[in-house]
Every structure is written in C-alpha cells, then in structure tokens.
Structure 1
Amino acid sequence: MDLSTSLGERIRQRRRRAGMSQQQLAHRAELSLGVIRKLEQDRGAARIATLQKVAAALDVTVAWLLDKPAALPSAHAEAGGVQAIRAALTTVDDLVDDGSELTAPMVLAEAKRTVTYLWGAYWSGRFSLLAALLPTVLPQLRATVRAVPAAQRPTAAEALARGLQVAGDTLIHLAHPDAAWFAVREAIRVAEDGGDELLAAVLRSSVSWQLLVGGRYEDASRVALRTASGLEPTGSSSLSQISAYGLLVVAAATATARAGRSAQTDELLAVAGEQADRVGCERSDHQTTFGPAKVLMLAADCHVVQEQYERGLQLTRQLPSEAPLTLTTRARALTDRALCETRLGMDEAAVGTLRAMIAMAPEWLSHQSLPRMIAAELVERQRRVSGSLAAVAAQMGVLA
C-alpha cells in the first residue's frame, strides 16, 4: 500500500504522540495486543469495527486513520476553497454594519434556484465546484434575507438554511468537521425564521450524520430519534412528514448499527421500511431522498458495518437500477457492495465494482476513505498486482 503514510504508521505515530504503549492502546480500545501489533505492522485486513475502536481510543476519526484528504487543492487562490468557505460562514458583517450592503442580494426566485443547483452539485459529488461557489453564494443568500420584503423573509431564510446545510455536508466530505458543525447549527438557527416546520427537523438529520461520521454513535441516534418522536405520522400525515420521519428513523438505524445494537437496528429498519412503503416512491422534499430504495441501500449499509457481508451483498444486489437515487447514493451503495465482495473472497467481482464506482463518481471517490481501504486490501492479497486491479489501485492512489 503506497500511501503518504500507511494505516499502521499513522496508528503508531498517533499512539506514541499520546504517550501510550501498544498494550495500553489495546486495553483502551478493548482489543487484543495481537490485533494492535498486526495493525501497526500493516498485516492483514482491518475490520471496520476494529478501526472504529482504535480511532476512538486515539481520539481521531476513522477517516484520519485512513489518510482521507483534508484539503481541496486549487491552482488559483481566488477559485474558492475550504478557507474561503470558512470565511463566508464566519462573517463579521453584523459587527461592522454601517448601513451599506457589501454583497448584492438575489431576487428570491434566483436564490431558490441557486440553492437547488448547489444541492445538485453536492449529490453529484462535485465538491470542487461547491468550494468555488459557496464562498460567493452564502453572502448573497444572507443579503437576500436582509433585502426582501418582510412577507418573503421566511422563504429567503429557508433558502439560506438550505445553503448552510449543503456547506456543512460538503465540509464533512472535505474533512473539516468543526466548520461543518458550525454550518449546520447555523442552518438550524436560520430555519427557525422560515415557514417550513419540517425543514428544521430534516436539518437535524445532517446533525445526526455529522455525529455519526465523528464516531459519536450514541449522540447520533439520540438526535435522530428525539427529532423523529416529534414527527411520528398519523393516518392524515402528509407524505412530506412521513418522509422526514422515515429519514430520521433510518438515520438512527445507521448509528445504532455502528454502536453494535443489532436488535434496535432491525426494529428501526422495519419502521423505516413501513414508512417508505407508505410513501411508495423516492421523494426529495428537502434535498434528501427517502423511499423504498433509499431504505434498502441504508439497510445494506447497516448489515455491512455489522460485518454481515452475505446479507449486505444480497441487499445491494436488490437495489433497483431504475430507482431515482442520486449519483453519490449509488456510489456509496457500490462501496458497500465492493466491501462485501472483498470480504467474501470475490476479488474479481470487487474489482469490477470498484471500476464501476470510479467511472460513476470520480471526484466523490477522491474524498472517500473506504474505497481506498478496499483496494488496498485487494492488493495485499495478490502476489502480483496486474490488469484491472493494478489500474484500479493506481487510480485510487494505492499504487504509484
């Protein structure tokens, strides 16, 4: 595995920086000393659950252990980027307000179209485009809230909240969780000035996801379930409410699966499945899809993180090709499928799945850790790497 530093080296460096011996790390992570030694020597495939325990013990994320890119390179400073997004999020305009508007507002219809475009870019995995657009768009959306007539202000606030949400979700993929957290909490605050009662609830699904990515599984499930409890549908509930409720329940399931609570995960997936059947199709009321196919995809994810690879593979194969899922959702499902195939010894199939993923979402893939881990595991098993596997590994940066 030819990465800037290997998984084992990163664990060793972090452990030593924390002043821990291998035995102390093993105790803290509730793993055997042998497992820690194998990890630091890059011997054998690391299980997801093992990486989660080691990451928690070292006070880092799994993404950090796997050397996920933490920056968005750009040849031109003016092209935007993470620091420019941070500057747009941490505005000081209200502290130096002199009565003039430094940023031109949009008309309300343009603001709504712009936010829809941002979400289209997000679900297509076009993070470079978002990094270029968000530093300009966020101040424009704020200016729009200030400029529109009072009657239009709730709608303008909703557009700003959705813009802040896409900024937060993008920053998670770019490995900047602190700025992402600020963005989504600001989105929730702004949404309170809007007229869509479901928007603030759906924004909390982003909070739950951020907590999950950070390894805070208990908090992730608590946020999702507490919010869902206030939306539990009745016979007369709208499809939008049912979708929002189902989205939060399935978000909780992905967290409980990672926390090792299998029985609760199964119960939550069953509830989410019932709501998806009531909806009957894939809906996207708040820029996030929910429906039978989305629940199927996330159910597969839950089985995979619990290392139930045969069941996970079965579910990924059942995902209907005609379902209107976003490009990145399908790419994420292919990641689960490739991992299942790899762990079940279906190396040729796994390589084919990774090739399909590269073709489908190359930019999204460059910011994901798990596909690189899968490719590295496949390479490690081969005495001689050639053909399709060599090409896939090279494209993912696993081979020089």
Structure 2
Amino acid sequence: MSDELADNLRRYRRAKGISQEQLAHRAGLSVGPVRRIEQGDDGVRMETLHAIARALEIKTSELMKAGPPEPVKHDDPNSLNLRELRIALTPAIGLRSEVTPVGAEPDLRRLQRMTRDNAVLYFGDSYRSIAADLPALIRGANDAVAYYDSGEERAHALVARSQALQLAGRYLTQIRQYDLAHGAVREAIADAKAAGDQLVAASGVGGMCWMLMRTERFDEAEDVAVATMDLVEPKIKGATSDAYATWGGLAMEAAAAAARNNRPNEAKALRRAAGTAAKAVGVTHKNLLRHWSMFGPVTASMKELEDLMVAGDARAVVRKSGDEENLQEKSWKRLGGPSTNDGNRYHLDLARAQVRTGDATGAMEQLARLDEIAPEWFRHQASAAVTFEEITKKRRTLTTEMREVGSHLGVFA
C-alpha cells in the first residue's frame, strides 16, 4: 500500500494547494509523518491517516488503495496452529459427488450448549480452549445440517451451525486471521437466512462489520450495517430486548466505521440511534448467541469514547470517563455492566487518552491491569503496544512491571 498511499496523499495535498508543513499543522501532527508517508513509508498508524484525512476533508478510505501483496512469512505459526480449524471450515472439494455418511441423529441441544459455553470462554479471554473445541464443533454442526433435510429440525440445525460459525469468525477476527474469518461469517449469515432467523443473520452481519473495520474496509462496514438496520428495525410496540440489542449493536458498528472514515456527522447520528436502543433496553441485556455482546446504556456510552479517541480528542475521553454517570462503576449495579471485551476496550482507550494528556503513570496502571486480567485478549491488541511505546518514551527507566508488560506485547524481544 505504501506507494499508492504516498501517491494519493501527494495528490490530495497538492489539490488543496498546501505544503507538507501546512497539512501537518492542520492535522495536529509534526511534519515528519507526512514526509515519511509521501516517501513511501509503510509503517504509518491508522490514527495518523484518520487525522490527515480530516485535515484534507476526505474519507480515510480515499487515501487507501490496494497495492501488490507482500511476501508471506514462511514461519507463520498460525498456518500450523489453525490447521484443524482450517480443515473443518474449508474442506477439500473434488469433481466426484461427495456422499456424507448419515450416522446417529445429532444432538442439537448439545451443539448449542457447546457453542454457548465457548462463547462464554471467548468473552472470558480463554482463546486456547476455544481453538481446541472449534474444529469438533464445526464438524458436528455440518453433520447436523447434512442429517436433517427439511422441516423445523433443519432450520434448527442451520441456526446451530450459524452460531458456531459466528463464534469461529469472531475468534479468527480477534487473532487477525481475517480471510478465514470472512468465510466463516459469510457462511453463518447464509445459514441463518436459509433458516429464516433474521436476528441471528443480523448478528452475523455485526460480526462481518467488525471484521471489515479491522481490515480498514470502512465504507462497506457502514453500508452493510445501515442496510441491515433498515431490515431489522424494531417496531414501536412489541419489540423484544433481543431486537433492540441487535439493532443497537449494528448502529454501534456503523457509527464506528463512519467515525474512522472521517464521517463525523453520520457517526453522531448513528450513535444517537444506538442510544435510543440502549434506552429502550434500559439495563444491560445479555444474549451471547443472539448478538455476541452485552448491550445497554453503559456499552453505548463506552463506544462513544472510541469515536472521540479516533478524532484525537484525548482530553474529552479523560473528562467524560470521570464525569459521565454511565461510565462510573457505582452505576453498574443499577444499569448493568459491560461485557468483558467492551470493558477491556474502554480501559485501553482510557490508557491511550491518559498518556496523550500527560498521565503516563495512570496509563501504565491501566495496561498492567489489562495484562493481568485479560492476558490473551491484551496481547492481540495493536493499540496496546502503541500506547506502551508512547509511555516508554516519557520514562527514562523502566520498572520490572513495565518490562513484563512490554515482553507480553512483543515490544521487547
């Protein structure tokens, strides 16, 4: 992407008639990052691109264009570690018609219970256990769909497989295996649609949007989330908490994509929609297999801080974290708390804001806490490594705790 990014940035900057120094000033950056990008440096951070896009008054996606692929490392450990899951998700297909042997009748309740148990593990940061269970879970779901060829049983089997595939897709997105994740989530959506379960299909779309954002496909993430919101918008009377939570979750995904794509007005409107859904739910609603999160007023408030962090307003993040009622843990007894993942993300955003407002000690305390309570989740967060590096630049000496955190993040060899 480096050559195309350099060409695009140079073209948009010249169209504005401004120098590199002037662009850097408008973006709130030093001139160094702008110069390095135009010289073809491919080590640019996404938040730097957000700031430059805002200064140029364009969408972030307009700066980005796919270039020729880089060579893949031959020692990628996941090529071996994920072998069984890859076989389950992408079985070999030949020209000869494959006949799936029909054995004993599948236990759909057991499959759903296994998926639910692993969803709990996923939100509890136990990725190793999930990786071990997923291949058997996917194969069992495939067998169930093959066994039932019609009727309610087939619909139930399709929903069970959809939920298992959604779990696989979210796990793979978390560990940055995006192509494999895309295939799993795409099939999950197709299964739920075939079963006629619109909310399960919509929850799959939410997972797709998250994966698209992790791969900087902001336009598509916003578009597909908004289009799905139109289809599953809760009716004024008789709407369930599941319906509001699914719709609100899609609004949050769309808002996150819009904010990262330098579309602040659209992001604000979508955040208001999420807030409306959260108010309708009233307290944190939990249904892991329906919308893969815990949705409510606390979650909606936390996600608003992500937009502020994307916009570079670290002071507002710190201020709101201390002032907004929904973000105070004492309020969670009344409103219900966030999911583990959402809570962890909130504390990571707060750490990033603290170091950028001069509170390196507070930021380090947040990182150390996350390293202790969610080590598997923590080590997969690129922004944690960035925040840690920013902290170390402000410290002459590193404590033992800091070295341990840095080693866990891969900052230190």
TM bracket, shorter-chain basis? 0.7 to 0.9
Match of 1:27 among 3, 6, 10: 10
Give deviations 1:143-180, integer Å, cap 9, x for gaps.
12223573322112111001111111111122221111
CA RMSD after TM alignment: 3.2
Counterparts in 2 of 1:238-249, with a 5 A limit? 238-249=240-251
Q: Does 1:298 align with 2:299?
A: no
In structure 1, what is the Cα distance between the partners aligned to 2:105 and 2:374?
Answer: 33
Partner of 2:256: 254
Partner of 1:85: 85
Contact 1:316/1:333 (8 A) holds in 2: no
Counterparts in 2 of 1:101-140, with a 5 A limit? 101=102, 106-140=106-140
SS at match of 2:295: coil
Q: Does 1:311 align with 2:316?
A: yes
In structure 2, what is the Cα distance between the partners aligned to 1:93 and 1:104?
Answer: 24
Is the alpha carbon distance of 1:339 and 1:398 closer, same or farther for their aligned partners in structure 2, counting shifts above 3 Å? same
In structure 1, what is the Cα distance between the partners aligned to 2:78 and 2:178?
Answer: 14
Is the alpha carbon distance of 1:223 and 1:110 closer, same or farther for their aligned partners in structure 2, counting shifts above 3 Å? same
Partner of 1:368: 381
Question: Does 1 or 2 have the higher relative contact order (CA < 8 Å, sep 6+)?
Answer: 1
Partner of 1:5: none
TM-score by length of 1: 0.82
Q: Does 1:332 align with 2:345?
A: yes
In structure 2, what is the Cα distance between the partners aligned to 1:34 and 1:26?
Answer: 14
Q: How far off is 1:106 after superposition? A: 3.8
Partner of 1:7: none
Q: How far off is 1:288 after superposition? A: 2.4
In structure 2, what is the Cα distance between the partners aligned to 1:272 and 1:123?
Answer: 22
Is the alpha carbon distance of 1:85 and 1:40 closer, same or farther for their aligned partners in structure 2, counting shifts above 3 Å? farther
Q: How far off is 1:388 after superposition? A: 4.0
Q: How far off is 1:263 after superposition? A: 1.9
Q: How far off is 1:218 after superposition? A: 1.3
Partner of 1:194: 195
In structure 2, what is the Cα distance between the partners aligned to 1:147 and 1:293?
Answer: 43
In structure 2, what is the Cα distance between the partners aligned to 1:133 and 1:40?
Answer: 46
In structure 1, what is the Cα distance between the partners aligned to 2:280 and 2:169?
Answer: 30
2:206 partner amino acid: S
Partner of 2:368: 355
2:297 partner amino acid: P
1:283 partner amino acid: H
Contact 1:70/1:175 (8 A) holds in 2: no
Give deviations 1:358-378, integer Å, cap 9, x for gaps.
111001112111101110111
Partner of 1:160: 161
Matched residue pairs, number? 368
Q: Does 1:213 align with 2:226?
A: no
Q: How far off is 1:189 after superposition? A: 0.9
Contact 1:104/1:143 (8 A) holds in 2: no
* Percent identical: 25
Partner of 2:28: none
Q: Which moved more, 1:337-346 or 1:27-36?
A: 27-36
Partner of 2:27: none
1:253 partner amino acid: A
In structure 2, what is the Cα distance between the partners aligned to 1:28 and 1:85?
Answer: 44
Partner of 2:227: 226
SS at match of 2:232: coil
Contact 1:126/1:363 (8 A) holds in 2: yes
Match of 1:343 among 336, 356, 359: 356
In structure 2, what is the Cα distance between the partners aligned to 1:374 and 1:36?
Answer: 21
Unaligned runs of 5+ in 1: 1-13
In structure 2, what is the Cα distance between the partners aligned to 1:315 and 1:83?
Answer: 45
Give deviations 1:249-276, integer Å, cap 9, x for gaps.
1111111110111122122111211110
In structure 2, what is the Cα distance between the partners aligned to 1:106 and 1:353?
Answer: 46
Contact 2:258/2:267 (8 A) holds in 1: yes
Unaligned runs of 5+ in 2: 14-22, 25-30, 53-59
Partner of 1:11: none
In structure 2, what is the Cα distance between the partners aligned to 1:341 and 1:29?
Answer: 33
Give deviations 1:96-141, integer Å, cap 9, x for gaps.
533524x876411101101101211221222222221111110111
SS at match of 1:192: helix
Is the alpha carbon distance of 1:292 and 1:181 closer, same or farther for their aligned partners in structure 2, counting shifts above 3 Å? same
SS at match of 1:377: helix
Is the alpha carbon distance of 1:183 and 1:372 closer, same or farther for their aligned partners in structure 2, counting shifts above 3 Å? same
Contact 2:9/2:38 (8 A) holds in 1: no
2:189 partner amino acid: I
Match of 2:391 among 360, 378, 384: 378
Give deviations 1:55-112, integer Å, cap 9, x for gaps.
964748xxx9xx9x97549xxx6xxx323222111124796533524x8764111011
TM-score by length of 2: 0.79
Q: Does 1:281 align with 2:283?
A: yes
